[in-house]
Structure 1
Amino acid sequence: MADNRKYYYLKLKESYFDEDSIILLESMQDGVIYSNILLKLYLKSLKNGGKLQLDEHIPYTAQMIATITRHQVGTVERALQIFQKLGLVEPLENGTLYMSNIELLIGQSSTEGERKRRARLEIQAKKALPECAGNSGGQMSGSIVDICPPEIEIERELEIEKEIEREKQQTAVDNGQPAPAAYGKYKNVLLTKQEHDELKADFPTEYKDYIERLSQYIASSGKRYLSHAATIRYWITTDWAKTGKKKGGGLPDYSYKEGESL
């Protein structure tokens, strides 16, 4: 029987626990507990694109987070305050908490078949790059296995990702779904017609600029995103929140209450 579920996972770099924010976090009293809570929140937020919510309408409260992480409410409340100060978590306008670095950590696999396909593509990529000594049957050089140079590994990974995206688009067409079109200077921002039209309607003066920003960032960093449309929306609304701009292209809100001064 086919497995049609979606699987989400964290992609942690080897240096994850060496990052300044994590070192500072774990150096605090109860810091290891906070670190445990942070990882659990990353995992709980994966299927919602980084937002901590039970479903699309109900955000997690401290009490709910305490239940799902199996920690005391007071510990969770202190942890959330620290996470916000370290820039690991930020509240959105509707009160939902957002895991700030989640887009750099999310991996996704649609089916068991996709995971197998990725493994197959990795094998093909190794065969296509004979300059890596490790591809010639795993022979040893002295007592150390030669490893591909970083630039070769990056090239291989990018080719695998491109092939997976091409196969996803073809699968969408085969299933009668609209295939996303490629936008941006580097043709790497994938949006369906509906997503593009909604961005144009909601952000008429900004959407083109942010498509180009995302295109350049993906091309320079090699990062992947679950939804390019959602990423663009998040970037725009976050920038609006910083400047006080409101939907509809209005000017920043400089109003003030009686007794306040500008």
Structure 2
Amino acid sequence: WQLLVLRMLTGISIGGAVPLIFSILGDLFPVGHRSEMAVVPGMAMGIGQLVGQALAGFVGPAYGWRMPFVMVALPTMAFALVMWLTTREPPRGQMETGLQTKFEQDDGFAYSEKLSMNKFWKMWQIKSNQVVFLQAMPGCIPWGVLITYFNDFMAQEKGLGVVAATNILLAFGIGCAVGNVTGGVLGQRFYNKSMDMFAFFLAASTFAGILPLVAIINLDFSGQALPAVFVLATSGGVLASVSGCNIRACLLNVNAPETRGTVFAFYNL
């Protein structure tokens, strides 16, 4: 039960940090660069999951299941201390198109709007929020399954063993990193050029990302199939991760500075 309690506390801490991170980043970057900006924290989270799975797969069998937790916790505490000592909160709303003139004309101007119940309810009336949340709930199920069961499925059901299964998951993670960067750059270009093209780009990449993973699940692993699995895992990671950073940028763009943290808190649920 100690592990369960500690993991719950860890989840609460991480879950509280993510909305704050994106809310602050929205005050550092303008609309025309937010998809590209969202690549960085998205990649960091992806790398974290990748490293965690690798540590569990490689270090756990050799040194026990507790060691990966220790190896992850120590740098986390160090970086938290560095951020506490060095990071300064940017002026709220300074990158909003409608407020930039006021910030430029008045050095003492401060955006003082606060979250209220009225704004909270209006937040749910924004159509972009509605669409994002409707797709997020079913869209996150595959990610949860992959993170939780993919390694065990490949190792046990497909008979590859822990090391080979972990390597396949690493290939998927590398693909996610590539797709995150590529998706952020291309998504920002589509967003700046045409909203319709942007929406089609996200929908097409999400649908295409299903196909490699379906193939992996149904592939016969006998013979020379293993190299094909690595190719499918990498391509699946590339396609599946395109939409994440762009959706976060959308939420930043359509919500006021005082509601962003709340929006991302619900989005992470």
On whether the aligned pair clears a TM of 0.5, the verdict is no
- Structure with a larger share of its residues in strand: 1
- Structure (1 or 2) with the larger CA radius of gyration: 1
- Normalised by the length of structure 1, the TM-score is 0.25
- Structure with a larger share of its residues in helix: 2
- Normalised by the length of structure 2, the TM-score is 0.25
More contact order relative to length (CA 8 Å, sep ≥ 6):
2
